[in-house]
């Protein structure tokens, strides 16, 4: 990591913010600036803060937590190789590692209680934990909605509007814009709409462009999912029980 840099990327359950080396205050200012700029997309999200070997006390973590809260986000996990920083995080009831496997930090120590609980909760189900976005009203051309979790729109999604969701996308209306569900790689993500006629549909790494031309049938609610490497849309059947 270069000096004086921050990086923000979406992970399955939230955002991963990595703080580079250098003075803490300017980095936090820079992060605040980035969040304020793009804040609307991150609202309601939880942040995993990766700080490397940096020593951070309770006050510093609280400061960052407050700044995130002002931007509508929560400090969720602090990932650090520094034991004192981990201790400070635990003291604030903040987890010190990501739920699920493979997220242990190199050199990280074994987690005590809080971390373990978080891990268990994360394994049980991710769905309830994921932040979601609910949009009431039509999404018109030029609007972009992003969430690391699910996105629900009550209204039409017009051509020229875009939705990027880490999870599922549900449109209670006509879906005519661009939708990317499972944008962080979740192939089990689905897209449901009362009328499914998107400009383009993406689930995880798959992209589908619906056939053009006039449709002769009456529109029916449909659900699209990725199956055998391609996106399939099926009309909604009342018997569906949410199996994937």
Please identify which residue in 80, 85, 86, 158 interacts with other proteins, judged by CB under 8 A.
158
Please identify which residue in 159, 204, 208, 236 interacts with other proteins, judged by CB under 8 A.
159
Please identify which residue in 15, 46, 75, 156 interacts with other proteins, judged by CB under 8 A.
156
CA angle 32, 38, 44 (to 5 degrees): 85
Please identify which residue in 24, 105, 111, 138 interacts with other proteins, judged by CB under 8 A.
138
46-52 β-sheet, strand order? 6-11, 14-19, 46-52, 74-80
Q: Which two tokens stand for residue 137?
A: 């009203």
Q: How far is the CB of 137 from other proteins (least distance, A)?
A: 8
In three-state secondary structure terms, 73 is coil
Q: Which stretch binds other proteins (CB under 8 A): 27-35, 69-77, 136-144, 178-186?
A: 136-144
User: Residue 221: CB partners within 8 Å, gap ≥ 6?
Assistant: 192, 193, 194, 195, 196, 235, 236
Q: Binding residues for other proteins, how many (CB under 8 A)?
A: 12
Q: How many CA atoms lie within 13 A of 82 on its CB side?
A: 13
Please identify which residue in 30, 34, 143, 184 interacts with other proteins, judged by CB under 8 A.
143
Please identify which residue in 108, 140, 233, 236 interacts with other proteins, judged by CB under 8 A.
140
Q: With CA atoms as reference, report the closest residue to 43 among 51, 35, 53, 34.
A: 35
Q: How far is the CB of 219 from other proteins (least distance, A)?
A: 12
CA dist., res. 63 & res. 90, Å (int)? 15
Q: What are the Cα distances from residue 2, in Å, to 21, 35, 106?
A: 7, 20, 19
Q: How far is the CB of 162 from other proteins (least distance, A)?
A: 12
Please identify which residue in 38, 141, 188, 200 interacts with other proteins, judged by CB under 8 A.
141
Rule CB under 8 A: is residue 142 a binding residue for other proteins? Answer: yes
Per-residue x/- mask for other proteins, residues 168 to 197, rule CB under 8 A? --------x---------------------
Q: Which residues of 189-215 are buried (b: 16+ CB within 10 A; e: fewer)?
A: bbbbbbbbbbbebbbbebebeeeeeee
Q: Which stretch binds other proteins (CB under 8 A): 69-77, 87-95, 120-128, 131-139?
A: 131-139
Which residues bind to other proteins, rule: CB under 8 A?
137-143, 156, 158-160, 176
């Amino acid at each position: 990591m270069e000096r004086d840099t921050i990086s923000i990327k979406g992970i399955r359950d939230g955002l991963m913010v990595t703080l580079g080396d250098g003075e803490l205050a300017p980095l936090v200012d820079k992060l605040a600036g980035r969040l304020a700029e793009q804040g609307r997309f991150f609202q309601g999200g939880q942040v995993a803060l990766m700080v490397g070997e940096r020593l951070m006390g309770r006050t510093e973590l609280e400061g960052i937590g407050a700044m995130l809260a002002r931007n509508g986000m929560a400090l969720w996990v602090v990932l650090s190789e520094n034991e004192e920083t981990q201790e400070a995080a635990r003291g604030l009831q903040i987890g010190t590692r990501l739920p699920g496997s493979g997220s242990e930090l190199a050199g990280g120590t074994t987690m005590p209680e809080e971390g373990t609980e978080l891990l268990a909760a994360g394994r049980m189900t991710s769905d309830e934990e994921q932040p979601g976005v609910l949009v009431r009203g039509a999404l018109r051309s030029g609007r972009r909605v992003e969430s690391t979790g699910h996105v629900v729109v009550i209204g039409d999604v017009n051509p020229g509007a875009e939705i990027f969701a880490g999870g599922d996308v549900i449109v209670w209306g006509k879906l005519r814009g661009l939708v990317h569900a499972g944008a962080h790689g979740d192939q089990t993500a689905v897209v449901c709409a009362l009328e499914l006629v998107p400009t383009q549909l993406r689930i995880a790494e798959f992209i589908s462009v619906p056939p053009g031309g006039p449709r002769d049938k009456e529109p029916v609610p449909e659900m699209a999912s990725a199956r055998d490497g391609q996106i399939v849309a099926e009309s909604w059947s009342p018997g569906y029980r949410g199996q994937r």
